[in-house]
Each structure stands twice: as C-alpha cells, then as structure tokens.
Amino acid sequence: METPAVLEELSEASLEAAMRRREEVRLGALIEQVERWRHRDGCFGRALRTDGLSVIAEYKPASPTEGSIRDVSPDEIAELYAPADAISVLTEETKFGGSLRHLAALRERTSQPLLRKDFLTHPYQLLEAKAFGADAVLLIASQLDAKQLRYLREYAESFGLDALVEAHDAEDLDRAVRSGAGIIGINNRNLRAEGLPVDVAVTGELLEATPEGVTVVTESGFGVDAKSRQKLRKYNARGVDAVLIGTALMRSDRPAEAIESLKRGGTSRGKLQRPRPDAH
C-alpha cells in the first residue's frame, strides 16, 4: 500500500504538532479531561443510525483545493449548524485552518456529537481528541496499514470514541471492513489523481461491497442544491446513513435551512439490505 503524497504530507505535519503538544501537557491532566466526557460514549454512531438521512456539517475554514473558505467563529458555527445531527471539526492547522481550540470551544457550546477530522496516525492524537471533547475521530484507510488501522480503531473505542474509517477505493474499503469498522465513510475524492477530482458515483460503486450492519457515510462532492438532494435521497434508500458536507455549508448564506432541507430529502422507507462480506 502506497500512501498518497497529499496524505503523507498532512499526516506528518499533524503528528509533529501533536508530539510538540505532548511535551507540554501532563498526561494525567489529559486523562482527567478524557474522563470528563465519558458520559457521551457512542453518541456519534447513534446519531447517524436514526431513520432517514443524517447530516454531518463540517466546520472547515480552508482547504488545500479551495484555499480560504470562510472566517467564522465556533460560536457562530454552533448556531448555524444547530439542525445538524453531528458536526465535523477540522483540527489540521497548516492547510485547513483548523485547531483543537475550535473543537474545545464547540464542545462547550453544543450538545451535538463532534467528529475530530484530522490526519491521525498516533494513539496520543486519539486521546487528546476525547480530552478536547470529540465523540469520534476520522481514521483514513489510505494512510494506515491493516495492523495500524485495527489498533487505532480499537484504542479509540476503548475510551468511548467512535471511529469513522474512511475509504477512497475498493482496497481501502476491504481494509476498513477487515479492521472491524462499524462506521465507514466513502470519500468520493480521488487522492491519487492530479487535481484531486471528485466523483460521487464512487459511493454507489463501493456501497455494493459494504456489509450489512455497517453505518455508511458519504463524503465529498455533495452540495445543498436540488441535484445533490435527489442523489442523496437515492443513496439513502440504498443504505447510506449519512452525508458529510463542508464547503457548500460553509459558503451557504442559510446553512441551517440547507441542513433541514437535506434531512427532509432522506427517505423513511426501509433501506435496502447490503450483501454480507466473506468471513474475515
């Protein structure tokens, strides 16, 4: 498995920052903060498994492909994203303008489940995610081998963090399934192609190989327009439980209304059953 260059760069920067913080923060103090949030264990996954389409609204000030997106405070985001089922918080600083301070500030302002979205490769990063108030962490299959992925997922879950394991292609998906992931994100962005293009058809292709019982999140490429809502309704009927949307909501004049519209676009009908995977 060769890690895409963009992930290699981002994960290295994220790890270096975490190791600097580790030198400055007493481990005992961090564990005390972890215990503060243990009453929230598992709430992220539960929020995605409700009937219809769940919406994870992303707080993303910038991105490598878009540059600066919107300057907005955690206070404002808490209000603008109030109808969302969960909020994804970018904490990567160098390319996404994120911060753990944003995560902590949002945790004090909302009861919604929070996902720490970053390029995480070390157990310490998971511990500090919980300490800063996250209910879930993103683990990217493209940057972790099978042993690392399973270990980090199990470690996160050992102290109450849900793990959203992200797959970009069939190889990633197989690794995610074999890691025992209960929540899998299908990211429609191609990290190995020039320009990092997006094709939402990737969700449809990988969905067929995603086992029954796994909570599925589609990521990247969806907006808040009628075409996106129609496509999401079809995916929801086929078994997609949630959508993660960042840029379109960050740029929306009325993100709360957009979120409500996306949720209404889901279907309350029973989702189609996906095939079970081979035993692993």
117 is catalytic: yes
**Which among 137, 163, 161, 135 is positioned nearest to 150, based on CA atoms?**
163
| Catalytic annotation, pick one of 187, 228, 236, 252 | 187
pLDDT tens-digit map of 41-53: 999 999 999 889 9
Q: Which residues of 130-152 are buried (b: 16+ CB within 10 A; e: fewer)?
A: bbbbbbbbbbbbbbbeeebbbeb
93 is catalytic: no
Helix axes 123-131, 146-158, angle to 10 degrees: 30
Give the Cα separation of 45 and 61 in Å (integer). 25
| Catalytic annotation, pick one of 63, 130, 166, 228 | 166
| Catalytic annotation, pick one of 11, 14, 88, 220 | 220
| Catalytic annotation, pick one of 14, 54, 60, 128 | 60
58 is catalytic: yes
Q: Please tell me whether the overall predicted TM-score, pTM, comes out greater than 0.75 for this model.
A: yes
pLDDT at 173 over 90: yes
pLDDT tens-digit map of 92-129: 988 898 999 999 999 999 999 999 999 999 999 999 99
**Which among 200, 192, 196 is positioned nearest to 222, based on CA atoms?**
200
| Catalytic annotation, pick one of 219, 228, 231, 252 | 219
Contact indicator for 222, 200 with CB cutoff of 8 Å = yes
Q: Domain segments of the chain: what residues?
A: 7-264
154 is catalytic: no
Fold classified for 7-264 = TIM Barrel (3.20.20)
Token pair belonging to 120: 């995480």
Sign, CA dihedral 147-152-158-163, equals: negative
DSSP conformation letters of 177-197: HHTT-SEEEEE-B-TTSTT--
